[in-house]
Amino acid sequence: MRRTALLAAAATLLGSLAAAPTAHADGPYGQGLDHCAATATGALACHFDVAPGTYDVTVTLGGETAGSTAVTGETRRALLAETATAAGRTVRRSFTVDVREPEGEPTGPAGSPGLDLVLGGAAPRVTALRVTPAPAARRLFLVGDSTVCDQPGDPYTGWGQRLPVHLGRGIAVANHADSGESTVTFLANPALFDTVEAAIRPGDPVLIQLAHNDKQTDAATYRANLTSLVERVRARGGEPVLVTPIVRRWFNADGTLDNGIALLVNGLGVDHPAEIRALAASLGTPLIDLTALTKARVEQLGPEASKALYLTTEKRDNTHTSVRGATEYAALVAAELRARDILPDRLLR
């Protein structure tokens, strides 16, 4: 389909554009919809040729008919939760997005240059879209493994991929988590922690969740690696936050989670969550005890219902989360960011 036809289809679909917007009429990228085209699924796909950095995105949602719109971007990141609009009404929402290369996992595919957004949802209605550089925006860095990362392919979804919907304008999630990484490999590969370290600015929080792949890391080495990460973040003026790992869905016969596999005790008998808790206390580092929080949720649901949080049915995988699981776990992290004053209320939704 030619671009003019796509724009016409988008205007018809959204029911809110009297005419195609004028390019660059209102700031660096104008109202922005001239950067978009309708997709076969009814969503609006938008691309902006911008350099790596942080950008504020403002969308005006709504139109002549009732709508329900969500925004995702880059590598399947959830950027704005589904938002309902009544017929004839509009609402404005803003968020900040981190554009980087590669756009997803640090050792994964490069992705497409620039910023890609998808305005979808049950009934997308969009009146205006504006993207502006935000070089002073803060970033919330994530250091982690495949349970955290921006997973490139459905149905795999990391909790870090669902975290941006909880943040408002002024701060972006910079998810540098990478599949298969341990404390050993995250320090050893220059594409991983060295890259994060160079980008940290004073006041940036850095959440560190590494344990799932430290299967043969002894306790002394594990503590030393985490300590190195914490100290190097602090040396840059950042604010390290230690995060215990999400549980594996591995039940005992009595409906409780297994004390070894599920609760991340490795092959050498190292209790990763216990080590992280003790280290956070000794280093004076904020702690998000995601092991305890996810354990409570999985045990609350029980052996059958908890399958929906993981890829048990789809992949026979009790470690990696589904969209639902990642969404629930991201909400737990967001609540802890608020409760522990890691981020001020003004930066949280």
pLDDT in tens, 16-56: 332 233 333 233 333 578 899 999 888 999 999 999 999 99
Residue 217 sits in the same domain as residue 291: yes
Q: What is the pLDDT along the chain (349 residues), one digit of tens a residue?
A: 333 333 333 433 333 332 233 333 233 333 578 899 999 888 999 999 999 999 999 999 999 999 999 999 999 999 999 999 999 999 999 999 999 999 999 999 998 999 999 999 999 999 999 999 999 999 999 999 999 999 999 999 999 999 999 999 999 999 999 999 999 999 999 999 999 999 999 999 999 999 999 999 999 999 999 999 999 999 999 999 999 999 999 999 999 999 999 999 999 999 999 999 999 999 999 999 999 999 999 999 999 999 999 999 999 999 999 999 999 999 999 999 999 999 999 999 9
Contact status, residue 125 vs residue 101, Cβ threshold 8 Å? no
Q: How far is CA 102 from CA 35, 42, 109, 139, 181, in A?
A: 22, 28, 7, 17, 17
Count: domains in the chain: 2
Whether 7 and 53 map to the same domain: the answer is yes
DSSP state of 36: E
CA distance linking residue 136 with residue 218, whole number of Å: 40
Q: Are residues 150 and 185 in the same domain?
A: yes
CATH number at residue 124: 2.60.120
Token couple for 301: 């649901």
Q: Which of 133, 160, 180 is the last residue of a domain?
A: 133
Tell me if the bond preceding 102 is cis, omega within 30° of 0. Answer: yes
What is the number of H-type helices and E-type strands within the chain?
A: 9, 15
Whether residue 57 is found in the same domain as residue 194: no
**Do 124 and 158 share a structural domain?**
no
- Expressed as residue numbers, the domain containing 214 is 138-347
Place of tokens 């910023």: 115
β-bridge partners, 180:
none
In contact, 232 and 143? CB cutoff 8 Å: no
| Peptide bond between residue 273 and the one before it cis (omega within 30 degrees of 0) | no
262 and 226 within one domain: yes
Strands (DSSP E) along the chain, which ranges? Answer: 36-38, 44-48, 53-62, 67-73, 77-85, 90-99, 115-123, 126-133, 138-144, 171-175, 205-209, 239-243, 287-288, 310-311, 317-321
- Distance between CA atoms of residues 15 and 18, nearest Å: 8
